[in-house]
Amino acid sequence: MNIESLKGRSLLTWLDFSAEEIRLLLDLAKQLKLEKQGGKIYQRWVGKTLALLFEKRSTRTRCSFETSFGEEGGHPVFLSMQDIQLGGKETIEDTARVLGRMFSAIEFRGFKQSTVETLAKYSGVPVFNGLTDDYHPTQALCDIMTLEEFCCKGGETCKGKKLVYSGDGRNNVANSLMVISAKLGAHFTVISPSELAPDSKIVDTCTRLAAESGASITVTSDLNAAEGADALYTDVWTSMGEEAKHDERVRLLKPYQVNSSLMAKTGKSDTIFLHCLPAVRGEEVTAEIIDGPASHVFDQAENRKYTIKAIMLAMI
Ligand code: CP
Ligand code: NVA
């Protein structure tokens, strides 16, 4: 198998990809980072266009898609919900059909997973999920790239490494991390209160996948499960669209904050800290940790660009 076999595909969730395909994308992302560091400039998207649909806000995802596509001669067009009719005056199906006639590919960030699925079904061009309520696949690829950069030596990969996520265990970021870990053979632990534990359907699916890849999936409310973590990960307690639940989340998630006491529970001195960003210091993570020596959150943010570029290069 080579990267050419991914041409024309859409990325809606990593459930649709094999471990081998995900590894091809990781290798390409690493190569693109080296290219960038070597000052190499290419024009691989001349004559191509990319529609960027955003129902929710974004800094990293938008900028990664828009700058990497534009830098290589492509024409990205940002379309917020103030600009287009998506699902309002026009059905999602019709918008998809129209965009598919004008663009080489579409990125969508928003609420429903079904919207990104509909765009992929009716547009006839590759569609990339830039975050929905259910999944954040482009983030998870970057997270594995960053984990491999800082936790693996020589030819090691994430296979057999332990990634621990503490916090809102049923959000898009946790779901995508669980899927990609299960596919690639990394041990994934979610520590969360039972009220915010991952959906049992996705846990069952990932547990089955993990059995094939040699990974393990652990869901618990016990903070001691952080023991042996190569990377400790958290995300905001209230995701976009859930702002009304803020007070309840603070009450439920306070014990699951990533702080020096949770870092100490890893029992390791070289555990790294990861966060997809944006972060709320004092809620899901203390300033001491996110701004401290174990934190690689800005390396992680930078890697969004290489991983997103790899996804687009392979699939467009
Ligand atoms: N991590 C992430 O998706 O960041 P943005 O919301 O800024 O795109
Ligand atoms: N879970 C967060 C991720 C932001 C990148 C949200 O959906 O708001």
pLDDT at 87: 83
291 classed as catalytic: no
Give the rounded percent of residues in the chain with a pLDDT score beyond 90.
97
59 lines ligand 1 (CB under 6 A): yes
Task: Tell me how far the alpha carbon of residue 111 is from its chain's centroid.
Answer: 15
Report the C-alpha gap between 307 and 305 in whole angstroms: 6
Taken in order 252, 201, 53, 84, is the CA torsion positive or negative?
negative
Task: Please state whether the peptide bond connecting residue 255 to the residue before it is cis, i.e. omega within 30 degrees of 0.
Answer: no
Top-confidence residue, 83 or 280 = 280
Nearest CA to ligand 2 atom 8: 239
pLDDT at 307: 98
State yes or no: pLDDT of 268 exceeds 90.
Answer: yes
State yes or no: pLDDT of 1 exceeds 90.
Answer: no
User: What residue ranges define each of the domains in the chain, with the CATH number in brackets?
Assistant: 3-135+304-315 (3.40.50.1370), 137-301 (3.40.50.1370)
| Model confidence pTM above 0.95 | yes
- Segment 213-221 shows an average pLDDT of 98
Q: Relative to the CA of 64, which ligand 1 atom is closest?
A: 8
- Segment 34-60 shows an average pLDDT of 97
pLDDT at 85: 85
pLDDT at 166: 99
- Segment 136-159 shows an average pLDDT of 97
Provide the 8-state DSSP code for 282: T
